[in-house]
Each structure stands twice: as structure tokens, then as C-alpha cells.
Structure 1
Amino acid sequence: MKILITGGAGFIASHLVDALISAGHKVSVLDNLSTGDIYNVNKAANFYEVDILDSFKLKSIFEFEKPDLVSHHAAQTSVRLSEESPTNDVSTNVIGTLNILNLCLTYKVKKIVFSSTCAVYSEPSYLPMDEEHPIDPKSIYGLSKYTAENYIRFFSKSSHLKYTIFRYGNVFGPRQNPLGEAGVVSIFTGQMLNGIRPVIYGDGNKTRDYVFVNDIVMANLNVLDVAGDNQTFNLASGKEISDFEIFSSVRNSIGIDVEPSFANIRKGEAERVSLSIKKANEILRWEPKTLLDQGILEVVRSIKK
């Protein structure tokens, strides 16, 4: 199968590129390298340094590659930056997605797989949150991703284009930037290894639902054919893990004696997150295999290198 991956130099998508190439697929990668790293890109993939807002260049790539499936990971993912510059956030996450959708229709792409986020949900009305949970994003980032979801659904209704939407929990693993805003496992690891006292925003009891990147890749592989057509799935572990639990696990994996400092919780962050993965389990036969401590140990080893 010919597969085009946007954001393919990034943390999650670069792992997916590796898996697809190992499975024998022909893969092309689009990335503007604003946050992605060229060294993450498998040399067997066709790589194009291009922004998804550049519709002219995108058109020439689609014309040449003629993909069967598009896996759309390119996005502005920083909650902080979405609040500082809503226009830039919407440009990438909404207009960029529309550019990809228009080309999918023009070049008769069979299916688009979209990486969305649990940030589309409101503060929990119940836990774990399933895909029918009320939508009320607390951040502009969450709002722009949900808007992109709805454009995908709208385009699909009036065309041949099938879709699968994944709402990711907190994905962690090797290649996640330890200097970025997102990815507390990598951030804590990088700080501790460099003798920096990590900061926990809030009192340490804020929870998230963590899932290892290899498990996310497996779910993406499961929907390459008709599985999950025109459906939305949560991908996570189904468990609430507190910031302090993450801190403690990283500290134990490194084997140092350090205590965190605390700061005010940041704007746009939910207090609690836990996602139901029942639907993905029943329809896609997917469930995460990597234990939290095992995954954190892999992150520590990768950053030490």
C-alpha cells in the first residue's frame, strides 16, 4: 500500500513510519521540521520538507505519490502556544487539515487516519471517558483539533473518503523531546539526568492517561484496511496516573534522590483524565501491552544514549 504520513519526522509518526516500512508498505513523509527531526525519518521513506499550509507544494507531492491512505499527524500540539497565538494554531490544525482533505478528494485517497486528542473532552462528567463523553475543550488546541475532526466527518459524508479518528491520551516513548512542553515523562527524565529539579504544575495529584508509543503504532496498523472505518476511538491505557506517580517512576528508573518543586497549574489543563478503551478493544482488537514502568525505563535508556 502507498501511504503518505504528515508530520512523519515527529515523535509518534516517525515510529509509525518505521513499522509501515518494516511491513512492506511504500511510505512518503511530509514534515516542515518545525518540531520534527530529520534524523527520526527512516531512510527508506520518500521525504518532503514541506508545510501543510503550502497547498501548491502539497498538490505536486500528491500528484507524484498518489497515496492510497493518508495518516495525518502534522499539527500544532502546544496548549501554551495555542493560547498565545490562536491564529497560528487554527492555521495549522484546521486550514492545514483542510488542505490535506481537499487533496485526498482530488487524488482519490481511499482513507485518512487522523491523530486527534483527548483534549477535545470537557472536564470529566464520568471516568473513564468514552467516545460519547461531552465535548467542551478547555484549550484552543483542543478546540482546533475537534474542529478538524468535524471537517473530516463532513468531507467523508459527501465523498468516497473513509476515515478513522484516534483520540490519543498522553503518549510517551523514545524520540519525544525532553525540552518541549508536552511529554512529562521525557521532560522529567531529561531534567533529572541533567541535575535539574523537575517542576510539577499543581499539587501533584493532577492525572493523565499514559500510553506507550509502540502501542499507538499497533492501533494505527490495525486500521490500514476496513477496520474502524468512519469511527472515532480513544487510545490510552484506561488508567489514571498522577503527576507525582510519573515523577516517582522516572526517579526510580534513574536511581537518584530528588524531590520536585511545585508551581501553579497552567491554563487550559484538566484536573483529571482517564479514557475508556473498550471500543478500540472490541472493534480493533487493540489493547496496550507496555506497562508504565517498562515504558519509562525505555525512555530513560533512550535519553541516556
Structure 2
Amino acid sequence: MRILVTGGAGFIGSHVVDHLLKNNYTVIVLDNLSTGNIKNLNKKVKFIKGDIRDKNLDFRDIDGVIHLGAQVNVRTSLEKPLYDCDVNVMGTLNILETIRRYDVEKIVFASSVAVYGDPKYLPVDEEHPKKPLSPYGLSKYCGERYIELYGDLYGIDYTILRYSNVYGERQDPRGESGVVSIFIESMLKGKVPTIYGDGYQTRDFVYVGDVARGTIMALNWKNKVVNIGTGKETSINQLYNTISDILDFKEKPIYSDPREGEIYRMVVNIERALDLQWKPIVDLREGIRRTIEWMKEYLRGTC
């Protein structure tokens, strides 16, 4: 089976590619390398440097598309909403049009829990109202609705995955990054990390290897919308304490003003994913330990 992965040189995408190869898929990666890194890619992969907005994409002989290519930074979406919309909405629509043109059977779409906005209840299930707080969350939700529409109109089989906060190896702390890698890099360099807000805001942190495994399983799920997380709520203060404990870092965090467009509490209901035989395996402490080992190599310039 031939699978094309958009954004396949990125943080999550490169892990998805590795898992696809382990499961004997033929993999083609489309990435413009704006945030991705060619060093992340296995040499067995056919690489196409291109943009999801390119009008001349060729999906000939492709059986399925895993669509991870996106603008993923909430702050960038607030500063450059037109750019965010162009990449995440128009880019996704262009992928769908190319899929339709070449009769590709399946799309798996990487969405986000950002589509929910501030939770009305916890844990958040897939039926929770959608009221994004940022252009990023809204653009992801627009992508979802286009995919569902194309499923209805043209019979394109889809799975939409709403990732919670993904962390792990290859998450570049200097790029469009998550709090885990930022904290780890700062502490390894002896710098005190900053927490925006009071630190009691919560997230559902899920390890990238578990996410990649679920994303490949989603190739066999038909017309589903599925949360991918752990179902466990962790505060930023707890996260800080876990990382500092593993690294034996003694300094207390610096607290600053909360950031615009970010939710306060989030944890997802993963019952639907469990029913589909996916579950998270790597717990937070072990995932952080693995990420620290990778970060040490990264900072030495060896990966």
C-alpha cells in the first residue's frame, strides 16, 4: 500500500513515516521543509519537496494520504491569520481536490483539540461543542468540515484525529514547539524556564510514538472523528516538577502573563479510540525521559 504523508519531515510526521515503514508500507513524503527537517527522514522514503498549496500535485498510484502538513503555531495564527488560513484551509482543500482528481481512497487528517475552545465539561469527548479561541483552532475545524463534506459529496473515506498536546523526540525547541521540549532545553542549558500564567492550567500530554501508532491504525477506521490523548490531566506546574526532578534541576520557574488564545484546562475523553483498539502506552515520565535523552543528542549536534 502506497501512503503519501504531507508534513512527513516534521516532528509528528517523521514518526508516522517510521511507523509506516515498520509496517511495510511504501511511503512518499511531501514537505516544503519550512519547519520540517530532512534529517528526520528514513532514506527508504521517496521525498518530494513541495507545498500542500501547489496546484500541480501528482497523487498518481497513491492509496492513501496522511495529511499532517500545516501551520501549527497558535501565536503565529494570531499574528498572521491570513497565512494560517491559506496553509491550513486552502492547503487542505487543495489536498482534497488532488485526492478527488486522482481517486485516492483514504485521507487521515491531523486535527487538534484546539477546535473545542474552552471546555464546557471535562474530559472533552468528540461531540463537545466547537468554539475555537484562535485562528489556528478555527482553521483546523474548517479543514475537518471540508473533509467531511468531501466524504459526503465524493465518497472519500476519511479519519479525523484530534491530537491533544503531543511531545517527544524531534520536537524542535527552537521552532514551532511545545512546552515539554522548551522546558527540557532550558533546564539542560541551566536556564530557568518561564511559565505563562499561574501554572495551574492543564493539558493532556501524549507521547509522539503513541500518536504515530494511532495515526497508522486510523488508515483502517472508516469515517471517524477520534480524540488521541491519554485521558490524564497534567498541570504545567506538575510538568515542570517532573522534568526538573528527572534532571535534578533545583530552580523555581519564572511566572509571566498568560498567552492570548490559549485554553486554561484540557483533557480528552479517549473512549472512542479505546473502542477502536488504540491506547496510549508510554506514560508521561517515561516519555519525558526519552525526550531528554534525544534532546541531549540534539544539543550536541548529533541528531
Alignment partner for residue 288 of structure 1, among 280, 290, 296? 280
Q: What does residue 19 of structure 1 align with?
A: 19
Shift, 1:252, TM fit: 1.3
Match of 2:257 among 261, 264, 279: 264
Partners of 1:224 and 1:147 in 2: CA distance: 21
Where do 1:1-305 residues align within 5 Å?
1-56=1-56, 58=57, 61-63=58-60, 66-225=61-220, 228-282=221-275, 284-305=276-297
AA at the equivalent of 1:62: F
Whole-angstrom CA distance in 2 between matches of 1:67 and 1:181: 29
**Residues 3 and 65, structure 2, Cα contact 8 Å, conserved in 1:** yes
CA distance in 2, matches of 1:176, 1:235: 18
Which position in structure 1 is the counterpart of 2:301?
Answer: none
Work out whether residues 63 and 106 of structure 2, in 8 Å CA contact, stay in contact via their aligned partners in 1.
yes
**C-alpha contact (below 8 Å) 2:59/2:104 kept by paired residues:** no
**How far 1:223 sits from its partner (Å)?**
2.2
Is there any run of 5+ residues in structure 2 with no aligned partner, and where? 298-303
- 1:32–1:181 CA distance, 2 compared to 1 (3 A): closer
Contact 1:172 1:210 in 2 (8 A): yes
Residues in 2 aligned to 1:22 and 1:236: alpha-carbon distance in whole angstroms: 23
In structure 2, C-alpha distance between the alignment counterparts of 1:256 and 1:210, rounded to whole Å: 21
Letter in 2 for 1:251: S
Q: CA deviation at 1:221?
A: 2.0
Aligned 8 A contact 2:35 2:175 in 1: no
Partner deviation per Cα, 1:248-295 (whole Å, 9 max, x = no partner): 11111212212110111100001100100001111x111101110000
Residue-pair matches, total: 297
Q: Partners in 2 of 1:23 and 1:272 — Cα distance?
A: 36
Q: Deviations over 1:86-119 (max 9, x none)?
A: 0000000000001100010111111000000000
Please state how far the C-alpha of 1:182 moved relative to its aligned partner. Answer: 3.1
The 3-state SS of whatever aligns with 1:258 is coil
Query: Alpha carbons of 1:224 and 1:181: their partners in 2 closer, same or farther (altered >3 Å)?
Result: closer
The two structures, once aligned, show a CA RMSD in angstroms of: 0.9
Measured in 2, the distance between the counterparts of 1:291 and 1:258 equals 25
Aligned to 2:238, the other structure's residue is in SS state: helix
| Aligned equivalents of 1:100, 1:186: Cα separation in 2 | 30
**TM-score between both structures, scaled by the size of structure 2:** 0.96
Per-residue CA deviation, residues 65-87 of structure 1 (Å, 9 max, x unaligned), is x2100000000001001011100
SS at match of 1:223: helix
For residues 168 and 66 of structure 2, the distance between their equivalents in structure 1, rounded to whole angstroms, comes to 20
Matching residue's letter, 1:253:
I
CA distance in structure 2 between the partners assigned to 1:8 and 1:218 by the alignment: 14
Shift of the alpha carbon at 1:164?
0.1
Moved runs in structure 1, 4+ residues, more than 4 A?
A: none
Distance 1:184 1:256 in 2: 16
In 1, Cα distance between equivalents of 2:154 and 2:53: 23
Instruction: Tell me, yes or no, if the aligned pair for 1:179 and 1:190 is still in contact at 8 Å.
Output: no
What's the CA shift for 1:34?
Answer: 0.5
**Alpha-carbon shift at residue 181 of structure 1 (Å):** 4.5
**2:150–2:156: 8 Å Cα contact kept in structure 1?**
yes
One-letter amino acid matched to 2:179: V
Aligned with 1:112: secondary structure? strand
TM-fit CA distance, 1:22: 1.6
Percent sequence identity over matched residues? Answer: 46
* 2:291 aligned partner, one-letter code: V
1:253/1:300 contact within 8 Å kept: no
